[in-house]
Amino acid sequence: METLTVALADRSYPIHVGRALIERGDLLLPFLSQPKAAIVSNGTVAPLYLRRLAEPLRRAGIEVVEIVLPDGEEFKDWRTLNSIFDVLLERRCERSTTLIALGGGVIGDITGFAAACYQRGMPFIQVPTTLLAQVDSSVGGKTAINHPLGKNMIGAFYQPRLVLADTDTLYTLPERELRAGLAEVIKYGLIRDLPFLEWLEHNLDRLLSREPNALAEAVGRSCRNKAEVVVADEREAGERALLNLGHTFGHAIETGVGYGQWLHGEAIAAGTMMAAELSSQLGWIDRQDLARIECLLQRAGLPVQGPLLSVERYLELMHNDKKVQDGKLRLVLLQEVGRAVLTDAAPLPEVRRAIAERSAHA
Amino acid sequence: METLTVALADRSYPIHVGRALIERGDLLLPFLSQPKAAIVSNGTVAPLYLRRLAEPLRRAGIEVVEIVLPDGEEFKDWRTLNSIFDVLLERRCERSTTLIALGGGVIGDITGFAAACYQRGMPFIQVPTTLLAQVDSSVGGKTAINHPLGKNMIGAFYQPRLVLADTDTLYTLPERELRAGLAEVIKYGLIRDLPFLEWLEHNLDRLLSREPNALAEAVGRSCRNKAEVVVADEREAGERALLNLGHTFGHAIETGVGYGQWLHGEAIAAGTMMAAELSSQLGWIDRQDLARIECLLQRAGLPVQGPLLSVERYLELMHNDKKVQDGKLRLVLLQEVGRAVLTDAAPLPEVRRAIAERSAHA
C-alpha cells in the first residue's frame, strides 16, 4: 500500500493506493466521528463491493446505512441527490455521520456534494472503484451534479477525510471504462509530467492488460500529480484549471449528446484532440506532437474526434463553461507537450476550425 | 448609517445599517467582481424595491438579471432553487457574476445557497428587507433550503460579501412580519445581552410604532450580537448554537404544521417559551423569569404556545434537528435570563412536560 497526503492544513487527508483495501475496516474506522456511516453506491458496483466494505464496519459495531442509486451520468442530477437526502433523513443520519462514496466518478461527485450540503456539511470518504475516479475525481474535493444546460454546474469544493483506492476493483471494470480512465491519466503527462507521458507510451499495453504493478504505478503517479496541483491551488484560482485540458470541449460533448451517451473520459479524449489541434494551429506544438498525442489516445482505444454536432452548437455549449470570464472563453491549451496554459488568446475562427477539424461532421 | 464588520479574516465583510441605503449603488459597486449581477427577490418585495436597487446599478453600466420567486417559506425548496439555476445558466451568469438577495429570510437563505452552489460558488450580497432578515438571517453565512422532513436541512456555510440593511424597508413590512422579527431580537437579550433585553422591555412600543431611532438601535444592536457570535464560532462548533434558542422546538412547529403556516419568528417565540418552561422545570430560572419572558413576547404580539400536535409528533420532528448527536437531543436552554447553554442533560420526561405545558393541546 502506498500512502500520499493532500496537504491542506487542518483539512489534510491521506490517499491510500493498493490491493485488497476495500475490506480494510481498520483503515476507515479512525476517520468515523460516530459509530454510524452511510454508503452510497450504484446498482452495478453495490453487488460487487458493498458487502465487502460494509461487513468489517458492522463487525466493529458501526451502524451502516446503504443507499444504492441507478448507475450512469444521466442520474447525476438533483433528483438523485434528493433521494440521498431522503434516506439520510429517514434513517436519522446526523451531521457527524460519515458519508462514504463507493463507485466511480458519478457516485463520488454526487455523494461528495450531498455530504457538503446535508445539514450544511457532514464528513465524507471516497472509495473509488473505477480508474477515472481513482486517478482524478476522488481526489481534490470537487463535487457536483449536472444541469441540463451544463456539466457539473451545481456543486461545492468539499474535501473528503480519506481516499481509499483499491486497485483490485479495476479487475471488474468493463474494458470501456478502463479506457475512459486512461484519458485522465494521459492528461497528467500532457499538462505537467512529460516523463510520465513517456512512461505511459512504453507501458500502455501493460495497463490495458491490467498488470497490477502498472496499474499501481499509474494510479499512484496520477494521484501525486493531482495532489500537488490541488495543494497549490485548491479553489482553482490558477494552476488547477490546467487539469481541465480538453474539458471545455469535452463537457460540451457530454451535454450536447446527452449525459451518459459518451463516458466522461471518452469526451475528454476527443476534447483533448481539439485542444491539441488548436494549440498546433496557434503554432505552439507541431504536427508531429499532434500525431504523437493522437497515437497514444488511439492506442488506448479512445475517440480522437468529437460527435456530429454543429460548430455553432459546440460554441454555444462551451460558453456555459465555468472558466468563461466576461463572456470570453478561456481554454487550456498546450504550450508544448508536457506543459499546459490557460488562455483567452485563441481567436474564435481558430477555435471553430479546431472543432471542425476534430469532429465527426468535418 | 452605522457600519459593523464581521471579522472573518480574508472573508470579512461590512454590514451597513441605515436609511435610504437601497438606492445607494455606490455602496454596492465596489463589491461587484464584474459588470454583471443577478438580483433574486419575490413577488411581494420586487414591486416595491427591485427597481430602486437595480436602476443605480444599471446607470453605472452593470448588466442586471432579475429573478422573481414566489413568496413564502413553502417555496424554500429544491424546485425553487433549481429555477434560480435555470435563469443563471440561460442568462449566462458566470462564476464571477454577483448574486444579490433582496427580501426576507427565505430569499436570503435560498439565494445564499444558490450562490454557494452555482459553479461551485459565486459572490453574493444580502439586501434584507424584513426585520427578521436584518437582525438575524442575513448575517453569518448560514444558507439553506427546507426538506419535507426538516427545516434548513440542506445548505451551506457561505458568507456574503456585504450586507445592506435599509431600515426604511421596514415601513412597508406587514405588522405580522414585524412582530415575527421581534422574536429573534428578543432572543439576543435572552441568550447573551441582558441590558438589551431591558432596553427592549422599555422600548417595545417604540419599535411596534416603528420609530426610526428605535428600529436602528434594535437592528444595529442585534447585528453586533450576531457578528460577535459568528466571529467566535463561524461553523457552530460551540457558542453559535446558542443563537438557536427556541429553534429545535420552533423548527418542529414549522415542519409539523407545514412550511408557511407559521412565520419562522412566530414558531421561534412559541419554541422559546418551551425552552424557558423546560429551563424553569430544571430549576435554572424561576417562575418570575418565565412570566417576564412570556410578558415580553405577548406584548410583541407573538404566540406563547405551540400548535396542536401530539407530544410524540413534536419529539419525532425534534429528533431530526441538526444539533442531535448520537441520537440524543441537544437543546439551548436558559441558565438564567441573559445567559443560554447548549445541553443534552434535560431528561425526556421533562422535555415532554414542557411541550405539553406550552402547546395548544395541553
In a domain, A271, yes or no: yes
Contact yes or no for B96 and A34 at CB 8 A: no
DSSP A306: B
Say yes or no: A344 contacts chain B, CB-CB below 8 A. Answer: no
Q: What is the dihedral of CA B227, B112, B233, B231, to 10 degrees?
A: -30
Domain membership of residue B106 as a residue range: 2-172
Q: Are residues B94 and A326, on separate chains, in Cβ contact within 8 Å? A: yes
Shortest CB distance from B149 goes to which of A89, A150, A324? A89
For residue B339, what is the domain's CATH number? 1.20.1090.10
What are the beta bridge partners of residue A98? A37
pLDDT of residue A87: 98
Interchain CB distance below 8 Å, B120 and A78: no
Q: Find which of A62, A99, A117 to mutate to test the B interface (most B CBs within 10 Å of its CB).
A: A117
Which chain B residues are Cβ-neighbours of A157 within 8 angstroms?
Answer: 120-121
Which value, in Å, is the radius of gyration of the alpha carbons in chain B?
A: 20
Q: Does a structural domain hold residue B362?
A: no
| CA torsion angle A29 A30 A34 A36 (round to 10) | -20
Q: From residue A33, how far is each of A6, A77, A123, A195, B328 by CA, in Å?
A: 20, 28, 8, 41, 15
Contact A82 B78 (CB under 8 A): yes
What is the DSSP pairing of strand B150-157 with strand B124-128?
Answer: unpaired
Each of the 362 residues of chain B gets a pLDDT tens digit; together they read: 999 999 999 999 999 999 999 999 999 999 999 999 999 999 999 999 999 999 999 999 999 999 999 999 999 999 999 999 999 999 999 999 999 999 999 999 999 999 999 999 999 999 999 999 999 999 999 999 999 999 999 999 999 999 999 999 999 999 999 999 999 999 999 999 999 999 999 999 999 999 999 999 999 999 999 999 999 999 999 999 999 999 999 999 999 999 999 999 999 999 999 999 999 999 999 999 999 999 999 999 999 999 999 999 999 999 999 999 999 999 999 999 999 999 999 999 999 999 999 998 64
d(CA A220, CA A14): 12
Tell me, yes or no, whether A160 and A182 share the same domain: no
How far is it between the farthest Cα atoms of chain B?
62
Name the amino acid, one letter, at B261: Q
Do A295 and A340 belong to one domain?
A: yes
B67 plus B153 within the same structural domain: yes
How far does the CA of residue A224 sit from the closest CA of chain B (Å)? 24
Residues A217, A189, single domain; the answer is yes
Contact B154 A85 (CB under 8 A): yes
**Taking Cα atoms as reference points, which of A46, A93, A329 lies closest to residue B320?**
A93
Query: Could you tell me the three cell numbers for B122?
Result: 459565486
Nearest CA in chain B to A63: B326
CATH number at residue B92: 3.40.50.1970
What CA–CA distance (Å, rounded) separates A145 from A138?
A: 14
Looking at the complex, does the CB of residue B208 fall below 8 Å from at least one CB of chain A? no
Closest chain A CA to residue B320: A92
Instruction: For residue B89, give the nearest of A82, A119, A153 by CB distance.
Output: A153
- Distance CA(B185)–CA(B203), nearest Å, equals 12
Q: B156 and B180: one domain?
A: no
The residue from A244, A266, A322, A330 that is catalytic is A244
Segments of B129-193 assigned E as strands:
142-147, 150-157, 162-166
Size of interface A-B (CB pairs under 8 A): 90
Instruction: Tell me which of A142, A151, A322, A330 is the catalytic residue.
Output: A142
Same domain, A194 and A152: no
- Measured between CB atoms, does A78 come within 8 Å of chain B? yes
Q: What is the pLDDT of residue B279?
A: 98
In whole angstroms, give the CA distance from residue B200 to residue A299: 76
Q: Which of A73, A177, A217, A236 is catalytic?
A: A236
A362 found inside a domain: no
Could you give the number of structural domains in chain A? 2
What residues have CB less than 8 Å from B228, skipping those under 6 apart? none
pLDDT in tens, chain A (362 residues): 999 999 999 999 999 999 999 999 999 999 999 999 999 999 999 999 999 999 999 999 999 999 999 999 999 999 999 999 999 999 999 999 999 999 999 999 999 999 999 999 999 999 999 999 999 999 999 999 999 999 999 999 999 999 999 999 999 999 999 999 999 999 999 999 999 999 999 999 999 999 999 999 999 999 999 999 999 999 999 999 999 999 999 999 999 999 999 999 999 999 999 999 999 999 999 999 999 999 999 999 999 999 999 999 999 999 999 999 999 999 999 999 999 999 999 999 999 999 999 998 64
Best A33, A83, A88, A154 member to test B by mutation, with max B CBs in 10 Å, is A154
- Three cell numbers written together for A295: 497515437
Instruction: Quote the minimal CA–CA distance from B3 to chain A in Å.
Output: 28
Domain shared by A199 and A161, yes or no = no
Amino acid letter, residue B320: N
Q: Which residues contact B36 (CB under 8 A, 6 or more apart)?
A: B62, B63, B64, B65, B93, B94, B97, B98
Q: Among A172, A204, A229, give the residue marking a domain's end.
A: A172
Cα B16 to Cα A68, B5, B200, distances in angstroms: 48, 9, 22
Residue among B82, B89, B142 whose CB faces A78 most closely: B82
3-state helix, strand, coil in chain A (%, to 5): 50, 20, 30
CB contacts, 8 Å: A89 with chain B? 147, 149-150, 153, 320
Which of A152, A172, A192 corresponds to the end of one domain?
A172
Q: Which of A161, A187, A221, A240 is catalytic?
A: A240
Rounded Cα–Cα distance for residues B152 and B244 (Å) = 13
Q: Which three cell numbers stand for residue A184?
A: 485522465
Q: Is A335 helix (H, G, I), strand (E, B) or coil?
A: strand
Which residues does chain A have within 8 Å of residue B94's beta carbon, measured at their own beta carbons?
Answer: 322, 324-327
Catalytic residues of B: 120, 142, 184, 226, 236, 240, 244, 247, 251, 264
Q: Same domain for B147 and B206?
A: no
Backbone angles phi, psi at A330, to 5 degrees: -120, 125
Across the interface, whether the CB atoms of B154 and A326 are under 8 A apart is answered no
- End of a domain among B172, B203, B228? B172
A156 and chain B in contact, CB less than 8 A: yes
Query: Is the Cβ pair A156, B120 closer than 8 Å?
Result: yes
Distance to chain A for B163, nearest Cα, Å: 21
User: Is B119 in contact with A319 (Cβ distance < 8 A)?
Assistant: no
* Run of H or E including A333: strand A331-336
B179, B265 in Cβ contact below 8 A?
Answer: yes
Among A46, A173, A37, A158, which Cα is nearest to A93's? A37
Contact A117 B156 (CB under 8 A): yes
A324 vs B contacts (CB less than 8 Å): 92, 94
How many other CB atoms are found less than 10 A from the CB of residue A69?
A: 22
A325 interface with B at CB cutoff 8 Å:
yes
Q: Residue A108: which of A53, A164, A54, A149 has the closest Cα?
A: A164
Same domain, B13 and B52: yes
Report yes or no on A350 lying in a domain. Answer: yes
Which residue on chain A is closest to B142 by alpha carbon? Answer: A120
**Is the domain of B51 the same as that of B192?**
no
In a domain, A167, yes or no: yes
Question: Are residues A327 and A280 both part of a single domain?
Answer: yes
| pLDDT tens string B199-255 | 999 999 999 999 999 999 999 999 999 999 999 999 999 999 999 999 999 999 999
In a domain, A67, yes or no: yes
The CA distance from B14 to B171, in Å, is 24
Inter-residue contact A156 to B156 (CB < 8 Å)? yes
Task: Give the pLDDT confidence of B241-284 residue by residue, as tens digits.
Answer: 999 999 999 999 999 999 999 999 999 999 999 999 999 999 99
Whether residues A64 and A168 share a domain: the answer is yes
Q: In chain B, which residues have their Cβ closer than 8 Å to the Cβ of A86?
A: 147, 149
